[in-house]
Amino acid sequence: MKKILVVVLATIIVGAVFAQDQTIKLPAPEIKGGLSIMETLKNRKSIREYSSKKISQKDLSKLLWAAIGINRPDESKLTAPTAMDKQEVTLYYIDHKGAYLYNAKAHTLDLINKGDFFPLIATTQDFVKDAPAVLVIVSNTAVFGENDSYAYTDAGMVSQNISLFCAGNKMATVPRGMMDKDGLSRALRLRSGEVPVLNHPVGYLK
Strand-strand pairing, 23-25 and 70-72: unpaired
How far from chain centre, in Å, is Cα 12?
30
How do residues 102-117 score in pLDDT, each as one tens digit?
Answer: 999 999 999 999 999 9
Question: Could you give the CA distance from residue 29 to residue 171 in angstroms, rounded to a whole number?
Answer: 16
Sorted by where each begins, the domain ranges of the chain are 27-204
pTM beyond 0.85 = yes
Q: Distance between CA atoms of 177 and 121, rounded to whole angstroms?
A: 9
Give the chain's mean pLDDT: 92
Please, is 96 exposed, middle or buried when counting C-beta atoms within 10 Å of its C-beta (0-12, 13-18, 19+)?
middle
Instruction: Kindly indicate whether the domain formed by 27-204 is annotated with CATH number 3.40.109.10.
Output: yes
Furthest-apart CA atoms within the chain: distance in Å: 68
pLDDT digits (tens, 9 = 90+) for 31-49: 999 999 999 999 999 999 9
